[in-house]
Structure 1
Amino acid sequence: MSEDIIIGRNPIKEALEAGREMNKLLILQDSKDRHLQKIIDMAKAKKLPIQFVDRKKLDKVADGGVHQGVIAYVAAYAYVEKETIIEAAAAKKEPPLIIICDEINDPHNLGSILRTANAVGAHGVIIPKRRSVALSQTVAKTSCGAIEYVPVCRVANIAQTIDWLKAQGVWIAGTDMAGDLYYKANLKGSLAIVVGNEGVGMSRLVKEKCDFVIRIPMMGEVSSLNASVATGVILYEVLKQRHDV
């Protein structure tokens, strides 16, 4: 059984009451069990993603454990509030440097992004609660320890979070092949870099919220880079511009 899950009604209910960080819940579909309904109500109150699945799926995930119709995926590490990231930059007397992952689904990509974020001195990473990979042991392993040092904030709405960041004086740079060359953009000052989904890029609304959009030139036959590789290229340009390295 994976160390990233909790199974059974009572353990999950207790974890919810204790405020344990959870990524999502799997709950038996069409169940009339009142204990499961209590857990559903608690999860909804905390705005946790809920996925209703059949018993076969639950049995497979539980891997022989007694799940009682409910499984919770828990975070490998605790998330922080978005204010914490801004405060971390202020404590270092540095302009904020933030990476916003817009529906990144590959845990290896997120782990690599965390590793690069730490290498360049970024102050935090923001991910959405839905349609996105969450902090897991795979993410932690791929980050090679960076998950211990890079604050990760998990938000319900990326577009609204961008509006909040703008109110804090942070400029938002999206990444898209229709943008301007990244090394010609001014990447100094308070900045958040938005990295889109591996397949479709940034969502339309998030793209519209960006102050400007940048791109990495592609000279070969492939049309895009891996999300974590592209993030690394741009973050090192930020480092170069900020510190003249």
Structure 2
Amino acid sequence: MAKRGEKKNLRGRAGRMQGGRGSGRATQGHVRLWGRHAVEAALKNPLRSHHKLWATREGIASLDGELPADFPIEYAEVADLARLVARDAPHQGLVLECDPLEDVHLADVMDGDEARPIMVLDQVTDPHNVGAILRSAAAFNAAAIVTQDRHAPPESGVVAKSASGALEIVPWVRVVNLARALEELAEAGYWRIGLAGEAEVNFAEALPAGPVALVLGAEGEGMRHNVAAHCDALARLPIGEAMESLNVSNAAAIALYAVATR
């Protein structure tokens, strides 16, 4: 597995935990990830700089591949690891502290590939939803997700666990102004479709040939007016009357499937 960053001596004694014990937060400037898929993907990502892995021996054994002999590991008991993560977080015997990923710019992901949509999220703040959307984006080969730098969750263990490894695969672009980002997408040839339950047009009818940017708003409030105004079309998913709406991550997965199979 790839590893960059500071090297430390191996520690084999469980229980002598360091770094934010009980807080569930990483030390300043670092990100703390947990769970097998999230940790394993981060360890394999050559763009990550790793600092330390706390783990049970069973957690280490569950990883796909071997760590370098000099990788900084501190073995611990399950209860000790629970003090390093968010309350009741399913760490699966693995907690990794690493640097956050480098910033990605919108120009870097606008490749114009009609088979690789770009997901634009307007004030989707729940980290579980963002993680689930990242997972669907990876499954359907989306080019990136785009969020505002404010009103969006930071890179975190909750996002990574919900993404099940996709945080390391799908570029995450953060922009200052979402409306301006949509203008740039249009200039690059993307057709911008906003998902809105009140729209009259079905999503399949609004879906054109060519590259697509899918725009989704927060649950309840939906897209802001200015963001919706920067879409080429608003469309709805044809769900039954028994349910008023879908969870935003479910809606994203359905829209991505529709793009993949058009």
TM-score by length of 1: 0.65
Return closer, same or farther for 1:148/1:225 CA change in 2, 3 Å cut-off: same
User: Quick one: which of 103, 114, 117 aligns to 1:79?
Assistant: 103
CA displacement at 1:136 relative to structure 2 = 1.4
CA distance, structure 1, for counterparts of residue 164 and residue 147 of structure 2: 19
Report the counterpart of residue 24 of structure 2 in structure 1. Answer: 2
User: Quick one: which of 156, 160, 163 aligns to 1:140?
Assistant: 160
SS in 1 for 2:197: strand
Return closer, same or farther for 1:95/1:238 CA change in 2, 3 Å cut-off: closer
CA distance, structure 2, for counterparts of residue 192 and residue 200 of structure 1: 20
Report the counterpart of residue 129 of structure 2 in structure 1. Answer: 109
CA distance, structure 2, for counterparts of residue 144 and residue 124 of structure 1: 16
SS in 2 for 1:173: strand
- The residue correspondences of 1:48-127 to structure 2 (distance < 5 A) are 76-86=100-110, 89=111, 96-127=116-147
1:141-190 Cα deviation digits (max 9, x unpaired): 11000111100000011001111111111111001012211122224311
Gaps of 5+ in 2: 1-22, 30-97
- The residue correspondences of 1:33-52 to structure 2 (distance < 5 A) are none
SS in 1 for 2:28: strand
| Residue 212, structure 1, aligned to residue 225, structure 2 | no
Return closer, same or farther for 1:154/1:75 CA change in 2, 3 Å cut-off: farther
The Cα RMSD (Å) is 2.0
TM-score by length of 2: 0.61
SS in 1 for 2:243: coil
CA distance, structure 1, for counterparts of residue 206 and residue 179 of structure 2: 22
Report the counterpart of residue 175 of structure 1 in structure 2. Answer: 195
- The residue correspondences of 1:154-193 to structure 2 (distance < 5 A) are 154-179=174-199, 180-193=201-214
CA displacement at 1:116 relative to structure 2 = 0.4
User: Quick one: which of 136, 142, 149 aligns to 1:129?
Assistant: 149
Percent sequence identity is 32
Return closer, same or farther for 1:94/1:190 CA change in 2, 3 Å cut-off: closer
Q: Note if contact 1:171-1:190 (Cα within 8 Å) is conserved in structure 2.
A: yes
CA displacement at 1:218 relative to structure 2 = 2.7
Q: Note if contact 1:114-1:143 (Cα within 8 Å) is conserved in structure 2.
A: yes
CA displacement at 1:220 relative to structure 2 = 3.5
Q: Note if contact 1:76-1:140 (Cα within 8 Å) is conserved in structure 2.
A: no
CA displacement at 1:216 relative to structure 2 = 1.0
Code of the aligned partner of 2:151? R
CA distance, structure 2, for counterparts of residue 136 and residue 223 of structure 1: 31
Return closer, same or farther for 1:120/1:183 CA change in 2, 3 Å cut-off: same
Code of the aligned partner of 2:251? A
CA distance, structure 2, for counterparts of residue 216 and residue 95 of structure 1: 20
Number of aligned residues: 171
Q: Which has the higher strand share?
A: 1
CA displacement at 1:5 relative to structure 2 = 5.3
Return closer, same or farther for 1:4/1:159 CA change in 2, 3 Å cut-off: farther
Report the counterpart of residue 251 of structure 2 in structure 1. Answer: 230
Q: Note if contact 2:118-2:142 (Cα within 8 Å) is conserved in structure 1.
A: yes
Q: Which has the higher helix share?
A: 1
Report the counterpart of residue 221 of structure 1 in structure 2. Answer: 242
1:185-216 Cα deviation digits (max 9, x unpaired): 22431110001011200000000110001101
Report the counterpart of residue 196 of structure 1 in structure 2. Answer: 217
